[in-house]
Structure 1
Amino acid sequence: MTTAVSGQDFKVADLSLAAFGRKEITLAEHEMPGLMAIRKEYAEQQPLAGARVTGSLHMTVQTAVLIETLVALGAEVRWASCNIFSTQDHAAAAIAVGPNGTVENPQGIPVFAWKGETLEEYWWCTEQALTWPGTPTGGPNMILDDGGDATLLVHKGVEYEKAGAALTSPPPRTTSTASSSSC
């Protein structure tokens, strides 16, 4: 497991997969002309400047294209997978390294995802994606959430704060949160 190299905040399975992931992302860009057109047309204008986006979607090469488009449009992004089994480790590594970084000097996006996370690790990754060190609010101002778990964690945190307690562990498993593979 690779974490925080050169001060960059991330946790992925294996950074050495980044080169393969970058090749796959390049292929995916050709299959996603809509996002690429938006990136090309609006990148200079930076319409998402000031957006702090927490993402909780399947960490695939297609999602990597979305992540890099959000960044190209000016957003800051932190990411976790919405599913413990769906992460493509090479995509996560490529996002952590970034298009201009190296395995030794990653310069990418904070991503917290690897295939086969335990439920405890899954909730930790989601919490990391929701935590924004150095920001006034300490959190995102936009959430992209496929399965609803990141949103659930935010709501549970608000409930705990209102009750005067801190959320120090993942929310209790209920029928709605028992399966992380629902998204």
Structure 2
Amino acid sequence: MSDYPPISEHLDDVESARTEGRRKMDWALQHMPILNELRDQFEAEKPLDGQVIGMAMHVEAKTANLVELLALGGAEVAITGCNPLSTHDDVSAALDAHENITSYAVRGVDEDEYYDAIESVVSHEPTITVDDGMDMVFAIHEDYPELIDTIVGGAEETTTGVHRLRAMDEDGALEYPVFAVNDTPMKRLFDNVHGTGESSLANIAMTTNVSFASKNVVVAGYGYCGKGVAKKASGQNANVIVTEVEPRRALEAHMEGYDVMPMNEAAKVGDIFVTTTGNRDIVTEKDFEVMKDGAILSNAGHFDIEIDLEALSDLAVDEYDARDGVRAYEMDDGRKLNVLAEGRLVNLASPIALGHPIEVMDQSFGVQAVCVRELVENADAYDAGVHDVPDELDVEVAEIKLAAEGVEIDALTDEQREYMGSWSHGT
């Protein structure tokens, strides 16, 4: 087991970092009515008393407020990053100052340090896991199976992690229950569409200082994240091109008015590329060979394998940092292709990135919090495997949000409920 140290042992001025991190968390919390409501409930009722929660997440201000909520609910929490470049060290330090929280998240770690930090979290012997990408679940099953019998369950935040979990479940290898938080409406309809769409384009614009208007923006993948990027880019007067492998999604993009074509055709005309697939080798050597001079490549999927950077580096005769967060690769014909945030999540890993809007993550983290509570309160109801989030939990979070916004809605009458629940009413 790793003895990788907490964030406090990596910083020269821990107190200043904690102060700045707390300032960021407090600002975010002002715009998180769902977590504020749940904080009051969790602090009063202590539903997580006695639990140890191991987390691998993007450690920034919004996530930190979820972590603190779980600690206020009675849990001991250990956390590290789920991406080497998405951690805010000051926020990590602020979390580590809490008596019930240990944070191992450090920005800019190498691959060995990244996995050492996960092992340090696992050394706390979590009874619940909360993941973004499934690296912690995998580490436990692969290296520490003796912990599985004492794990109540887990929750997975993102598309890539859920894909991995479902594959693991289909192989009969997932040995405790995990909620697919990513697949619930309160996550997909808001976090994936509005969150990914807005934050990805905002960070591309801030990193490059280019406009989307009149540009050919190529969106790889037309799932919920791709739909969000395409919608927001179109709203900024870009010409949107979608690439897909799934016929129905491709048809949907076509019917929405976007151009649809293979990546190698899109590569010839694209100005800005945004991958959103969660898969590997989306933009490859044959695409680099036909791209325009000055093309901008970014990833809004998950891992840094959507853009084949090894192939790009092999093709390049020179590479250098064109500006903060932009790596330029010069081809032998003089063309320059520009990769943002080292091919990692552009909305979280670029130097100025702040991730999804606060209000969006308030909803997703609200679902995470009630799922953790559900695992503790009704653990016996869930066998090993991937589980959909119970609809009543998703509705609970939506109701808190509507109440906070002062929005009222109608309610079904008894007659309407009976009609909708009956098969005997005919014409």
Global fold match (TM > 0.5): yes
Corresponding residue number in structure 2 for 1:58: 58
1:157 aligns with 2:149: no
Give the counterpart of 2:6 among 4, 10, 18: 10
Correspondences of 1:83-162 after superposition (within 5 Å): 83-98=83-98, 107=99, 109-132=101-124, 139-158=125-144
Q: Distance in 1 between matches of 2:23 and 2:61?
A: 9
Q: Distance in 2 between matches of 1:42 and 1:148?
A: 26
Deviation string, structure 1 residues 123-165 (Cα, Å, up to 9, x no partner)? 0100001112xxxxxx11100010111111011115799xxxx
Deviation at 1:179, TM superposition (A): 5.0
Structure 2 counterpart of 1:142, which letter? I
Q: Distance in 2 between matches of 1:160 and 1:38?
A: 33
5+ residue gaps, structure 2 = 148-279, 281-302, 306-343, 349-427
Structure possessing the higher relative contact order (Cα contacts under 8 Å, 6 or more residues apart): 1
Deviation string, structure 1 residues 51-108 (Cα, Å, up to 9, x no partner)? 110000001111110010001111110001101000011100111123xxxxxxxx46
Q: Distance in 2 between matches of 1:160 and 1:31?
A: 41
Structure 1 counterpart of 2:102, which letter? P
- Report the 3-state secondary structure (helix = DSSP H, G, I; strand = E; otherwise coil) of the residue aligned with 1:128: helix
Corresponding residue number in structure 2 for 1:26: 26
Q: Distance in 1 between matches of 2:73 and 2:35?
A: 11
- Report the 3-state secondary structure (helix = DSSP H, G, I; strand = E; otherwise coil) of the residue aligned with 1:80: strand
Q: Distance in 2 between matches of 1:118 and 1:124?
A: 10
Root mean square deviation of aligned Cα: 2.7
Does the 8 Å contact 1:95/1:108 carry over to 2?
Answer: no
5+ residue gaps, structure 1 = 99-106, 133-138, 162-174
Give the structure-1-normalised TM-score: 0.72
Q: Distance in 1 between matches of 2:91 and 2:122?
A: 20
Decide which moves more: 72-81 or 33-42: 33-42
Cα distance 1:39–1:125, how it changes in 2: closer, same or farther (>3 A)?
same
Give the structure-2-normalised TM-score: 0.32
Does the 8 Å contact 2:42/2:69 carry over to 1?
Answer: no
- Report the 3-state secondary structure (helix = DSSP H, G, I; strand = E; otherwise coil) of the residue aligned with 2:130: strand
Higher share of residues assigned helix: 2
Deviation at 1:114, TM superposition (A): 1.0
Cα distance 1:23–1:141, how it changes in 2: closer, same or farther (>3 A)?
same
Q: Distance in 2 between matches of 1:96 and 1:48?
A: 19
Q: Distance in 2 between matches of 1:110 and 1:31?
A: 25
Cα distance 1:34–1:77, how it changes in 2: closer, same or farther (>3 A)?
same
Q: Distance in 1 between matches of 2:18 and 2:145?
A: 39
Larger Rg: 2
Deviation string, structure 1 residues 39-61 (Cα, Å, up to 9, x no partner)? 11231110011211000000111
- Report the 3-state secondary structure (helix = DSSP H, G, I; strand = E; otherwise coil) of the residue aligned with 2:101: coil
